[in-house]
Structure 1
Amino acid sequence: MTKSSKSLWARFLFQDRGILPTKRLILTYLVLTIFLSLGILRDLSWWFVFMVNIVVFFISLADLLFSAKKTQLFFKRTITEEMERGLIYLITIEIRNNSPYSLNYRFIDGLPQTFSKPFPVSGRVLADSANVITYNTVPSERGKYEINKLYIRYQSVIGLWEKQITVELPDTVRVIPDLTETKQYLENGQHFLLYEGLEIRKQQSGVGEFSKIRSFVVGDDPRKINWRQTAKLQEVMTNEYEPEHGKYITILLDCGRMMGAELKKGNRIERALEAAVTVAAAALQKGDYVSVLAFSNEIKTFVPPAKGMAHLQTILQSIYHLKVDAVESNYAAVLQYLEMMQKKRSLLLLFSDIQTFLHEENALAYLKRLRKRHLFFMIGVEDRTLLNRTKAEPIDVQATMLKSIAQQQMLYKKREKNKWERQGLPMIEAREEKLAVTAVSHYMEIMNQNLL
């Protein structure tokens, strides 16, 4: 395809720039052709046919002159610089028409392929006025994207011709993980954890620092009732204690091949990122130090430990673009790296695929050594397909075989998990929609019991 033909093809694909006939002009010529053809059958002269076509053509050109010029149109895009994956966002396009002619327009914004696109968007802007148009989009993949162009088509006064222009409107958008669960925890952490059946205040008796005095609720320890405040306020009040702050939490994110397995909503790495950010927010809010290490067959990123809610933005900017690598994870290498980088005792919270991790005998040797200094805990997404296979009815030979193999896999996983847990290396699996809740609940349980 030659350069000129590519340019012409791009023009018809709502790209490039130029002038195109509208459906009104094509329909006009179609009707005119039918009438002139009937006239030719009745001895209408070819000279008359030629003159009619010339007149209609020049009328259409005159209509083209009564349309806005490119220099008389101004465009502005307003877009959020940071979006969360899977959520709906509003984008605003402002069109200012400084010409003396009203115009009908259509436009296509230059969004990436991973964004939903409700295009073309159409409207009308009057002479010497401005129009603001909004449309919704949903980003489906994390990452950093450049949005540079806006493709516009607008018609002349009668609407026989359509001008097409391309406007440069550079914007940068970062798509980060869905923070819905993180916001739910920050708004009401007690309610967030009660969904899992664990309360923040649950801890060993007499352990922790005094936090505040609050109203007594069902389930509180009667030994912690503050009788002085109870007599003063005529309401049963209790002392609330909280764990010591300033502990170190290290979140390990597996970005290997198995983390790309698709789930009902996204894949494993998406769920792991959302849960990791929620755990980080919970730990930072409690005054703990949080570090994050992402890996596959090599170290992808490492965020040094720090505390304070401002550190959450540092973590987000470091991990929002992480993708799954088509390689096997090297657990031994990352644990060896962690042994050098993390000198202080910390909670190692690993998000990975348990089925794959159980086959790593080298990782077990490193973890035994790390266990002397750190506290290890692993969490993964349960395999619903495997669970459904174990519960399936053996209606035929094939179904029976699949059920027996699935049960064998479950027994192997249970046996291996018990072996690791006897070494002081606990691991659990959670449903994909409860991964963040389960992770935060176990973090709270570990901190409340002063295991770290």
Structure 2
Amino acid sequence: MIQFFKSLYFNPRFFISIGVFAVLFLVSYWLTPIYAYVWLLALAFLLLTLADVVLLFKQNSLNAERILPDKFSNSDLNSVKIELQNQASVKINVELIEEIPVQFQKRDFIKRVSIPPKKKISTSYGLRPVERGEYIFGNLNAYVSSPINLIKRRYTFNKDQMVKVFPSFIQMKKYDFLAIDNRISQIGLKKIRRIGHTMEFEQIKEYIQGDDIRTINWKATAKHQGIMVNQYQDEKSQPIYSIIDTSRVMKMPFDELKLVDYAINSTLAFSNIALKKKDKVGMLSFSHKIGNYLPASSKMTQLQLILNQLYNIDTKFLDSDFGLLYAHLKRKITQRSLLMLYTNFEHISSLQRQLPYLKAISKKHVLVVIFFKNTELEKFSEEQPENLATIYEQTIAIQFKNDKYFMAKELEKHGIQTILTAPKDLSINTINKYLEIKARGLL
């Protein structure tokens, strides 16, 4: 009986009807002839309510299931599917109230559907997580009404389901084609002109504008009407490391996603491309001490190992120790490698403190320093000023923006490759830089 009352709820139509009867009884005080008819209507309403109760509670009229994917992709829209089956012989209306994980801070979820008798339907909704970790779903609450629509019965399903949020594997798959088809081009993907070549011969093809004239095959040209050139493959099995700074400078959020999460998503997408290109891939995280370290390898299981390492990375509140990073690289990575360093500098003085260590690392390896534009400041600097104080603030914002470009030039002056990018363009710019370095034969 207690469970019955816990599951019983009243629809707005019930309370509206009660209000109407109250008014009718009040009016019947002066119009006494209608008093008996009002009682008859009230009795009919009571019988109708009891019929609605019997219709909803004589059997379980609804079966529902929340279907979650194996894992969520961070910063991407993930679909959650709900399957509903009407087990009654009449049409039912269902209000779904989902207890979404607390990380989303979303407490107004409601979805309404109608299900024909003995039919099964499915509905879905999307969630965009911005933090890695475990997400717990509460009850899937379903409030079922019959065509009478006076009362409703509550059902609960799938309590405490858990799903893990991993670095963006959707973004990784998005750029996966770059490793298998060199002919595809799209906005944001640069076509890199090949400067040099290795000694790994691939095929003879017709000359097109931009090919190195030193690769002309004169014997093949003599046998054909057009000029023929030798085509060479990129060098393979080169060690490549993604190095992620997890200090406080990477805690800054853009579009609700921290810089360290942008770096993690980019690392996964970039590592996938490099593995498909037959290179060895590894990763390293550091702040005031060395964090996760995975030696470079080209094994098929390496991408899963990288994903597991990236899942547990989080930012610290301390400054990063680039001297410690230099010592660790000197001791652990002895072969010349491509190092993609994800960090951030907001002021020239912060770069100057770390520049000696970056120069020392670049002498032994091909170092690419990746840091971020402050897109919020850039957006603010382009707004129309409203008063003198805003003009002053915009001048400072422009100075900060120009400092970023100056820092990039300063790094390039010392022979260090740089990527200065907006956070949302990080993955594609990182992949472009990798393809450029491979094409130019810098490694």
Fold similarity call, TM over 0.5: yes
> Would you say the 8 A contact 2:373–2:401 is kept in 1?
no
Kept in 2: contact 1:85–1:140 (CA 8 A): yes
Equivalent-residue separation in structure 2 for 1:157 and 1:396 (angstroms): 61
Structure 1 position 311 matched with structure 2 position 315: no
1:77–1:93 CA contact under 8 A, matched in 2: yes
Residue 179 (structure 1) aligns with: 171
Q: Determine the C-alpha separation between the residues in 2 that align with 1:254 and 1:82.
A: 25
Query: Aligned in 2, Cα 1:306/1:41: closer, same or farther, shift over 3 Å?
Result: farther
Aligned residues: percent identity?
A: 21
| 1:241-289 alpha-carbon deviations (Å, 9 max, x no partner) | 1332111111112233333434468553344334323321232122111
Is 2:269 the partner of 1:286?
A: no
1:247 match: 238
Q: Supply the distance in 2 between the matched residues of 1:394 and 1:136 (Cα, whole angstroms).
A: 41
Structure 1 position 438 matched with structure 2 position 429: yes
Which residue, out of 346, 350, 356, partners 1:355?
346
Q: 1:63 aligns with which of 29, 32, 52?
A: 52
AA at the equivalent of 1:382:
K
Q: Tell me, yes or no, if structure 1 residue 373 matches structure 2 residue 364.
A: yes
Match of residue 81, structure 1, among 46, 67, 70 = 70
Using the alignment, how far apart are the partners of 1:395 and 1:164 within structure 2? Answer: 54
Query: What is aligned with 2:144?
Result: 154
- Residues 412-451 of structure 1 aligned to structure 2 (within 5 Å): 420-421=411-412, 423-451=414-442
User: Is 1:105 the equivalent of 2:94?
Assistant: yes
In 2: Cα distance, 1:41 partner to 1:395 partner: 67
| 1:131-210 paired onto structure 2 within 5 Å | 131-143=120-132, 144-156=134-146, 158-168=148-158, 170-177=161-168, 178-179=170-171, 181-183=174-176, 185-186=178-179, 188-189=181-182, 191-192=184-185, 195=188, 197-199=190-192, 202-204=194-196, 207-210=198-201
2: distance between equivalents of 1:136 and 1:113? 17
Contact 1:83/1:174 (8 A) holds in 2: yes
The residue correspondences of 1:383-402 to structure 2 (distance < 5 A) are 383-384=374-375, 398=389, 401-402=392-393
| Partners of 1:216 and 1:237 within 8 A in 2 | yes
Question: 1:152, CA displacement in angstroms?
Answer: 0.6
Alpha-carbon spacing, 1:417–1:165, altered in 2? closer, same or farther (3 Å): closer
Q: Does structure 2 retain, via aligned residues, the 8 Å contact 1:142–1:176?
A: no
Look up the match of 1:94: 83
- Taking a change above 3 Å as real, the CA distance of residues 242 and 117 of structure 1, as seen in their structure-2 partners, is farther
SS in 2 for 1:353: coil
C-alpha contact 2:21 2:38 (8 A) present in aligned 1: no
Residue aligning to 1:3: none
Letter in 1 for 2:163: T
Q: Which runs of 5+ in 1 are unaligned?
A: 1-6
Q: Which runs of 5+ in 2 are unaligned?
A: none
Instruction: Confirm or deny: 8 A CA contact 2:185 2:191 kept in the other structure.
Output: no
Distance in structure 1 (CA, Å) of the matches to 2:91 and 2:223: 74
**1:76-127 deviations in Å (ceiling 9; x for gaps):** 3333323434544443322233344542212123333556899422223344
Report the residue type matching 1:318 in the other structure. Q
- Are 1:421 and 1:427, in contact at CA under 8 Å, matched by a contact in 2? yes
Counterpart contact for 2:167–2:261, Cα < 8 Å: no
Distance 2:186 2:394 in 1: 35
Letter aligned with residue 346 of structure 1: S
Q: Distance in 1 between matches of 2:260 and 2:415?
A: 26
Q: Equivalent residue of 2:163, what SS?
A: strand
C-alpha contact (below 8 Å) 2:292/2:309 kept by paired residues: yes
TM-superposed CA distance for 1:369, in Å, is 4.5
For the 8 Å contact 1:349–1:377, the answer to whether it is kept is yes
1:354 & 1:157 partners in 2: Cα distance?
63
Determine whether 1:302 maps to 2:293: yes
Kept in 2: contact 1:261–1:268 (CA 8 A)? yes
Indicate the SS of the match to 1:179.
helix
114 and 281 in structure 1: CA distance in 2 versus 1, 3 angstrom threshold = same
3-state SS, counterpart of residue 119 of structure 2: strand
Structure-2 change in CA distance of 1:173 and 1:434 (3 Å): closer
2 CA distance for matches of 1:77 and 1:198? 45
Q: Is the 8 A contact 1:203 1:445 kept in 2?
A: no
Please list the CA deviations of residues 351-382 of structure 1 after superposition, one character each: whole Å capped at 9, or x if unmatched. Answer: 11133585266644544544453332201122
3-state SS, counterpart of residue 149 of structure 2: coil
Read off the aligned partner of 2:152 and give its amino acid letter: E
Indicate the residue corresponding to 1:37 in structure 2: 26
Change (3 A) 1:150 1:230: farther
Are 1:139 and 1:175, in contact at CA under 8 Å, matched by a contact in 2? no
Match for 2:21: what amino acid?
L
How far off its partner does 1:408 sit?
Answer: 5.7
1:332-357 C-alpha deviation (Å, 9 max, x unpaired): 44444444443433222111113358
Deviating more after overlay: 252-261 vs 189-198: 189-198
> CA–CA distance in 2 between the matches of 1:41 and 1:89?
62
Change (3 A) 1:232 1:140: farther
Q: Is the 8 A contact 1:108 1:151 kept in 2?
A: yes
Q: Which residue of 1 is the match for residue 9 of structure 2?
A: 20
CA distance in 1, matches of 2:119, 2:147: 17
Equivalent residues of 2:195, 2:212 under 8 A apart? no
1:259 match: 250
- Counterpart CA distance in 1 for 2:338 and 2:358 is 13
2:336 maps to which of 326, 342, 345: 345
Output the amino acid matched with 1:82: K
Question: How many residue pairs align between the two structures?
Answer: 437
